[in-house]
Structure 1
Amino acid sequence: MARFNVFATAVMPKFVKYVVSASRVVQASSLPRTLEELVNIRASQINGCGACLDMHVKEALAAGESPLRLSLVAAWRETTVFTDAERAVLALTEQATRLADSSGIDDEVWAEVAAHFDDEQLAAIVAQISLINALNRLNVITQQKGGSYDPARLAEAQAAATSGVDPTTVSV
Protein backbone atom coordinates (compact mmCIF):
# COMPACT_ATOMS: atom_id res chain seq x y z
CA MET A 1 0.00 0.00 0.00
CA ALA A 2 1.22 3.48 -0.84
CA ARG A 3 2.30 5.64 2.07
CA PHE A 4 -0.22 8.32 1.05
CA ASN A 5 -2.21 9.45 -1.94
CA VAL A 6 0.37 11.64 -3.66
CA PHE A 7 -2.22 12.99 -6.11
CA ALA A 8 -4.43 14.25 -3.27
CA THR A 9 -1.75 16.82 -2.40
CA ALA A 10 -1.27 20.25 -3.92
CA VAL A 11 2.44 19.72 -4.64
CA MET A 12 2.73 16.31 -6.26
CA PRO A 13 0.34 16.71 -9.22
CA LYS A 14 2.11 19.92 -10.19
CA PHE A 15 5.52 18.29 -9.80
CA VAL A 16 4.51 15.28 -11.90
CA LYS A 17 3.02 17.58 -14.54
CA TYR A 18 6.42 19.22 -15.05
CA VAL A 19 8.29 15.92 -15.05
CA VAL A 20 5.87 14.57 -17.70
CA SER A 21 6.46 17.76 -19.70
CA ALA A 22 10.21 17.17 -19.50
CA SER A 23 9.75 13.60 -20.73
CA ARG A 24 8.01 14.94 -23.84
CA VAL A 25 11.25 16.68 -24.80
CA VAL A 26 13.00 13.29 -24.89
CA GLN A 27 10.08 11.68 -26.74
CA ALA A 28 10.31 14.41 -29.40
CA SER A 29 14.01 13.68 -29.96
CA SER A 30 15.44 11.24 -32.51
CA LEU A 31 16.13 8.71 -29.76
CA PRO A 32 14.24 5.49 -30.59
CA ARG A 33 11.31 4.95 -28.23
CA THR A 34 12.35 1.37 -27.58
CA LEU A 35 15.79 2.56 -26.42
CA GLU A 36 14.15 5.12 -24.15
CA GLU A 37 12.12 2.29 -22.60
CA LEU A 38 15.20 0.07 -22.17
CA VAL A 39 16.75 2.92 -20.15
CA ASN A 40 13.57 3.22 -18.08
CA ILE A 41 13.40 -0.51 -17.43
CA ARG A 42 17.05 -0.97 -16.47
CA ALA A 43 17.10 1.98 -14.07
CA SER A 44 13.79 0.86 -12.55
CA GLN A 45 15.16 -2.67 -12.04
CA ILE A 46 18.20 -1.31 -10.23
CA ASN A 47 16.11 1.05 -8.09
CA GLY A 48 13.46 -1.57 -7.30
CA CYS A 49 10.60 0.54 -8.66
CA GLY A 50 7.71 -1.81 -9.38
CA ALA A 51 5.41 1.01 -10.51
CA CYS A 52 7.89 2.21 -13.14
CA LEU A 53 8.69 -1.34 -14.26
CA ASP A 54 4.99 -2.05 -14.72
CA MET A 55 4.56 1.11 -16.77
CA HIS A 56 7.67 0.89 -18.91
CA VAL A 57 7.47 -2.80 -19.75
CA LYS A 58 3.93 -2.18 -21.04
CA GLU A 59 5.04 0.97 -22.89
CA ALA A 60 8.00 -0.92 -24.42
CA LEU A 61 5.67 -3.66 -25.66
CA ALA A 62 3.39 -1.01 -27.14
CA ALA A 63 6.42 0.57 -28.86
CA GLY A 64 7.23 -2.75 -30.51
CA GLU A 65 9.82 -4.20 -28.16
CA SER A 66 9.89 -8.00 -28.01
CA PRO A 67 8.97 -9.94 -24.87
CA LEU A 68 12.23 -11.89 -25.17
CA ARG A 69 14.40 -8.79 -25.07
CA LEU A 70 12.37 -7.32 -22.22
CA SER A 71 12.85 -10.49 -20.19
CA LEU A 72 16.61 -10.24 -20.68
CA VAL A 73 17.24 -6.57 -19.80
CA ALA A 74 18.50 -7.38 -16.30
CA ALA A 75 21.08 -9.79 -17.77
CA TRP A 76 21.95 -7.77 -20.88
CA ARG A 77 25.68 -8.49 -20.55
CA GLU A 78 25.06 -12.23 -20.73
CA THR A 79 22.87 -12.12 -23.85
CA THR A 80 23.20 -11.65 -27.58
CA VAL A 81 19.92 -9.82 -28.21
CA PHE A 82 21.08 -6.23 -27.69
CA THR A 83 23.04 -4.14 -30.19
CA ASP A 84 26.37 -2.53 -29.34
CA ALA A 85 24.61 0.85 -29.14
CA GLU A 86 21.99 -0.53 -26.75
CA ARG A 87 24.68 -2.17 -24.63
CA ALA A 88 26.52 1.14 -24.38
CA VAL A 89 23.34 2.91 -23.23
CA LEU A 90 22.53 0.18 -20.72
CA ALA A 91 26.06 0.45 -19.28
CA LEU A 92 25.68 4.22 -18.98
CA THR A 93 22.25 3.81 -17.40
CA GLU A 94 23.68 1.45 -14.79
CA GLN A 95 26.60 3.71 -13.89
CA ALA A 96 24.42 6.83 -13.76
CA THR A 97 21.83 5.07 -11.62
CA ARG A 98 24.49 3.78 -9.22
CA LEU A 99 26.40 7.05 -8.76
CA ALA A 100 26.78 6.49 -5.03
CA ASP A 101 28.53 3.17 -5.69
CA SER A 102 31.23 4.59 -7.95
CA SER A 103 33.26 7.62 -8.82
CA GLY A 104 30.89 8.65 -11.58
CA ILE A 105 30.76 7.71 -15.23
CA ASP A 106 33.81 5.92 -16.64
CA ASP A 107 35.37 7.66 -19.62
CA GLU A 108 35.29 4.33 -21.50
CA VAL A 109 31.54 3.96 -20.95
CA TRP A 110 30.93 7.53 -22.12
CA ALA A 111 33.18 7.07 -25.18
CA GLU A 112 31.27 3.94 -26.17
CA VAL A 113 27.91 5.73 -25.97
CA ALA A 114 29.31 8.75 -27.82
CA ALA A 115 30.55 6.47 -30.60
CA HIS A 116 26.96 5.45 -31.37
CA PHE A 117 24.97 8.65 -30.86
CA ASP A 118 25.14 12.31 -31.88
CA ASP A 119 25.07 15.12 -29.32
CA GLU A 120 21.29 15.56 -29.53
CA GLN A 121 20.75 11.88 -28.85
CA LEU A 122 23.33 11.94 -26.06
CA ALA A 123 21.43 14.83 -24.48
CA ALA A 124 18.18 12.84 -24.74
CA ILE A 125 19.81 9.76 -23.18
CA VAL A 126 21.21 11.76 -20.26
CA ALA A 127 17.85 13.51 -19.78
CA GLN A 128 15.96 10.21 -19.81
CA ILE A 129 18.31 8.55 -17.32
CA SER A 130 17.90 11.58 -15.04
CA LEU A 131 14.11 11.62 -15.38
CA ILE A 132 13.57 7.93 -14.72
CA ASN A 133 15.81 8.02 -11.67
CA ALA A 134 13.80 10.94 -10.26
CA LEU A 135 10.52 9.11 -10.89
CA ASN A 136 11.91 5.87 -9.42
CA ARG A 137 12.80 7.70 -6.25
CA LEU A 138 9.40 9.36 -6.02
CA ASN A 139 7.63 6.00 -6.36
CA VAL A 140 9.97 4.06 -4.07
CA ILE A 141 9.83 6.71 -1.33
CA THR A 142 6.03 6.78 -1.38
CA GLN A 143 5.74 2.99 -1.93
CA GLN A 144 3.77 3.10 -5.17
CA LYS A 145 3.09 -0.46 -6.32
CA GLY A 146 3.24 -1.86 -9.82
CA GLY A 147 0.72 -4.07 -11.57
CA SER A 148 -2.21 -1.84 -12.41
CA TYR A 149 -0.74 0.51 -15.01
CA ASP A 150 -3.02 1.10 -17.98
CA PRO A 151 -1.29 2.69 -21.00
CA ALA A 152 -4.58 4.39 -21.96
CA ARG A 153 -4.45 6.45 -18.75
CA LEU A 154 -1.10 7.94 -19.72
CA ALA A 155 -2.37 8.74 -23.20
CA GLU A 156 -5.40 10.44 -21.62
CA ALA A 157 -3.19 12.55 -19.34
CA GLN A 158 -0.91 13.52 -22.22
CA ALA A 159 -3.89 14.44 -24.41
CA ALA A 160 -5.32 16.54 -21.60
CA ALA A 161 -2.01 18.38 -21.24
CA THR A 162 -1.92 19.30 -24.93
CA SER A 163 -5.61 20.25 -25.12
CA GLY A 164 -5.56 22.81 -22.37
CA VAL A 165 -7.18 20.55 -19.73
CA ASP A 166 -5.27 20.61 -16.48
CA PRO A 167 -3.38 17.27 -16.56
CA THR A 168 -3.23 17.30 -12.78
CA THR A 169 -6.92 16.38 -12.82
CA VAL A 170 -6.23 13.17 -14.77
CA SER A 171 -4.83 10.28 -12.71
CA VAL A 172 -1.89 8.43 -14.24
Structure 2
Amino acid sequence: MDARLNVFDSPTAGKFLKHVVSASKVIADSPLPLATQQLVALRASQINGCGFCVDMHTKDATAAGETAVRLHLVAAWREATVFTEAERAALELAEEGTRIADGAGGVPDEVWARAAAHHDEEQLAALVSLIALMGTFNRLNVITQQPAGDYQPGQFG
Protein backbone atom coordinates (compact mmCIF):
# COMPACT_ATOMS: atom_id res chain seq x y z
CA MET A 1 0.00 0.00 0.00
CA ASP A 2 1.29 3.45 -0.88
CA ALA A 3 0.43 6.60 0.98
CA ARG A 4 -1.87 9.05 -0.76
CA LEU A 5 0.56 11.86 -0.10
CA ASN A 6 4.24 11.89 0.77
CA VAL A 7 4.03 14.30 3.67
CA PHE A 8 7.81 14.46 3.92
CA ASP A 9 8.23 15.71 0.33
CA SER A 10 5.43 18.27 0.47
CA PRO A 11 6.72 21.76 1.34
CA THR A 12 3.52 22.61 3.22
CA ALA A 13 3.13 19.28 5.03
CA GLY A 14 6.87 19.16 5.68
CA LYS A 15 6.82 22.57 7.40
CA PHE A 16 3.76 21.55 9.37
CA LEU A 17 5.39 18.28 10.46
CA LYS A 18 8.51 20.12 11.57
CA HIS A 19 6.43 22.13 14.05
CA VAL A 20 4.38 19.14 15.20
CA VAL A 21 7.54 17.10 15.79
CA SER A 22 8.94 20.02 17.80
CA ALA A 23 5.82 19.85 19.97
CA SER A 24 6.37 16.14 20.50
CA LYS A 25 9.92 16.87 21.72
CA VAL A 26 8.50 19.21 24.38
CA ILE A 27 6.25 16.40 25.63
CA ALA A 28 9.06 13.82 25.49
CA ASP A 29 11.19 16.11 27.68
CA SER A 30 8.35 16.69 30.17
CA PRO A 31 8.08 15.11 33.64
CA LEU A 32 5.36 12.72 32.41
CA PRO A 33 6.92 9.23 32.69
CA LEU A 34 8.03 7.74 29.37
CA ALA A 35 6.03 4.56 29.97
CA THR A 36 2.87 6.63 30.45
CA GLN A 37 3.64 8.63 27.31
CA GLN A 38 3.99 5.46 25.25
CA LEU A 39 0.87 3.81 26.68
CA VAL A 40 -1.25 6.92 26.08
CA ALA A 41 0.10 7.40 22.56
CA LEU A 42 -0.63 3.75 21.77
CA ARG A 43 -4.17 3.86 23.19
CA ALA A 44 -5.09 7.07 21.35
CA SER A 45 -3.71 5.59 18.13
CA GLN A 46 -5.72 2.39 18.62
CA ILE A 47 -8.91 4.38 19.12
CA ASN A 48 -8.23 6.54 16.06
CA GLY A 49 -7.37 3.52 13.91
CA CYS A 50 -3.89 4.78 13.02
CA GLY A 51 -1.91 1.70 12.06
CA PHE A 52 1.26 3.70 11.44
CA CYS A 53 1.23 5.15 14.97
CA VAL A 54 0.24 1.83 16.59
CA ASP A 55 3.24 0.25 14.85
CA MET A 56 5.56 3.10 15.85
CA HIS A 57 4.53 3.37 19.51
CA THR A 58 4.50 -0.38 20.03
CA LYS A 59 8.02 -0.70 18.65
CA ASP A 60 9.38 2.38 20.44
CA ALA A 61 7.85 1.21 23.74
CA THR A 62 9.35 -2.25 23.28
CA ALA A 63 12.76 -0.72 22.54
CA ALA A 64 12.42 1.36 25.73
CA GLY A 65 11.83 -1.82 27.76
CA GLU A 66 8.05 -2.04 27.86
CA THR A 67 6.72 -5.59 28.18
CA ALA A 68 4.70 -7.37 25.54
CA VAL A 69 2.02 -8.21 28.11
CA ARG A 70 1.37 -4.56 28.95
CA LEU A 71 1.38 -3.53 25.29
CA HIS A 72 -1.08 -6.28 24.39
CA LEU A 73 -3.37 -5.26 27.24
CA VAL A 74 -3.51 -1.52 26.50
CA ALA A 75 -6.72 -1.98 24.49
CA ALA A 76 -8.30 -3.72 27.50
CA TRP A 77 -6.63 -1.73 30.26
CA ARG A 78 -9.77 -1.58 32.44
CA GLU A 79 -9.70 -5.35 32.95
CA ALA A 80 -5.92 -5.64 33.18
CA THR A 81 -3.99 -5.77 36.44
CA VAL A 82 -0.61 -4.80 34.96
CA PHE A 83 -1.03 -1.00 35.04
CA THR A 84 -0.45 1.36 37.95
CA GLU A 85 -3.28 3.55 39.18
CA ALA A 86 -1.52 6.57 37.65
CA GLU A 87 -1.26 4.80 34.27
CA ARG A 88 -4.91 3.76 34.48
CA ALA A 89 -5.93 7.37 35.17
CA ALA A 90 -3.84 8.55 32.21
CA LEU A 91 -5.33 5.90 29.92
CA GLU A 92 -8.84 6.87 31.01
CA LEU A 93 -8.13 10.55 30.30
CA ALA A 94 -6.63 9.57 26.95
CA GLU A 95 -9.75 7.64 25.99
CA GLU A 96 -12.13 10.41 27.04
CA GLY A 97 -9.99 13.10 25.40
CA THR A 98 -9.64 11.10 22.19
CA ARG A 99 -13.36 10.34 22.03
CA ILE A 100 -14.35 13.89 22.86
CA ALA A 101 -16.98 14.04 20.12
CA ASP A 102 -18.66 10.88 21.45
CA GLY A 103 -19.28 12.26 24.94
CA ALA A 104 -21.73 14.72 26.29
CA GLY A 105 -19.86 17.89 27.09
CA GLY A 106 -16.27 16.68 26.90
CA VAL A 107 -14.14 14.97 29.54
CA PRO A 108 -16.14 14.29 32.73
CA ASP A 109 -14.96 15.94 35.95
CA GLU A 110 -14.50 12.53 37.60
CA VAL A 111 -12.06 11.47 34.89
CA TRP A 112 -10.08 14.69 35.31
CA ALA A 113 -10.08 14.27 39.09
CA ARG A 114 -8.66 10.75 38.83
CA ALA A 115 -5.89 11.97 36.53
CA ALA A 116 -5.18 14.96 38.80
CA ALA A 117 -4.94 12.66 41.82
CA HIS A 118 -1.93 10.94 40.26
CA HIS A 119 -0.25 13.65 38.17
CA ASP A 120 0.99 17.13 39.06
CA GLU A 121 0.18 20.17 36.92
CA GLU A 122 3.17 19.78 34.63
CA GLN A 123 2.41 16.10 34.07
CA LEU A 124 -1.24 16.94 33.40
CA ALA A 125 -0.18 19.63 30.93
CA ALA A 126 2.03 17.11 29.16
CA LEU A 127 -0.72 14.49 29.21
CA VAL A 128 -3.33 16.83 27.72
CA SER A 129 -0.81 18.05 25.13
CA LEU A 130 0.10 14.46 24.23
CA ILE A 131 -3.55 13.47 23.75
CA ALA A 132 -4.10 16.48 21.49
CA LEU A 133 -0.86 15.83 19.61
CA MET A 134 -1.77 12.19 18.99
CA GLY A 135 -5.04 13.33 17.46
CA THR A 136 -3.04 15.44 15.03
CA PHE A 137 -0.56 12.71 14.12
CA ASN A 138 -3.29 10.06 13.87
CA ARG A 139 -5.48 12.15 11.60
CA LEU A 140 -2.56 13.11 9.36
CA ASN A 141 -1.58 9.46 8.94
CA VAL A 142 -5.11 8.07 8.57
CA ILE A 143 -6.17 10.71 6.00
CA THR A 144 -3.06 10.14 3.89
CA GLN A 145 -3.14 6.36 4.45
CA GLN A 146 0.41 6.05 5.73
CA PRO A 147 1.26 2.33 5.62
CA ALA A 148 2.09 0.49 8.83
CA GLY A 149 4.63 -2.23 9.56
CA ASP A 150 7.96 -0.88 8.35
CA TYR A 151 8.73 1.53 11.19
CA GLN A 152 12.10 1.04 12.91
CA PRO A 153 12.44 2.04 16.58
CA GLY A 154 13.80 5.55 16.93
CA GLN A 155 13.38 6.21 13.21
CA PHE A 156 12.31 9.81 13.78
CA GLY A 157 14.91 10.65 16.38
Instruction: Give deviations 1:39-90, integer Å, cap 9, x for gaps.
Output: 1100000000000011000111122111100000000011111111111111
Runs of 4 or more above 4 Å deviation: none
Gaps of 5+ in 2: none
CA spacing shift, 1:120–1:152, aligned 2, 3 Å = closer
Q: Distance in 2 between matches of 1:62 and 1:14?
A: 28
TM-score if structure 2 supplies the norm length?
A: 0.96
Greater per-residue helix proportion? 1
Could you tell me how far 1:30 is from its partner in structure 2? 1.1
CA RMSD of aligned residues (A): 0.9
Structure 1 residue 152: Cα displacement: 4.1
Structure with the greater alpha carbon radius of gyration: 1
Whole-angstrom CA distance in 2 between matches of 1:46 and 1:96: 11
Residue 165 of structure 1: aligned partner = none
Identity of aligned residues (%): 59
| Map of 1:50 onto structure 2 | 51
Please state how far the C-alpha of 1:151 moved relative to its aligned partner. Answer: 2.1
Q: How many residues align?
A: 155
Encode CA deviations 1:86-131: one digit per residue, 9 max, x unaligned: 1111110001101110120010000000000110110000011111
User: In the alignment, residue 107 of structure 1 is paired with which amino acid?
Assistant: D
Measure the CA separation in 1 of the matches of 2:20 and 2:114: 28
The runs of 5 or more residues in structure 1 that have no matched partner are 156-172
CA distance in 2, matches of 1:137, 1:10: 19
Q: TM-score, normalised by structure 1?
A: 0.87
What does 1:96-135 correspond to in 2, within 5 Å?
A: 96-102=97-103, 103-135=105-137
CA contact (8 A) 2:60 2:154 kept: no
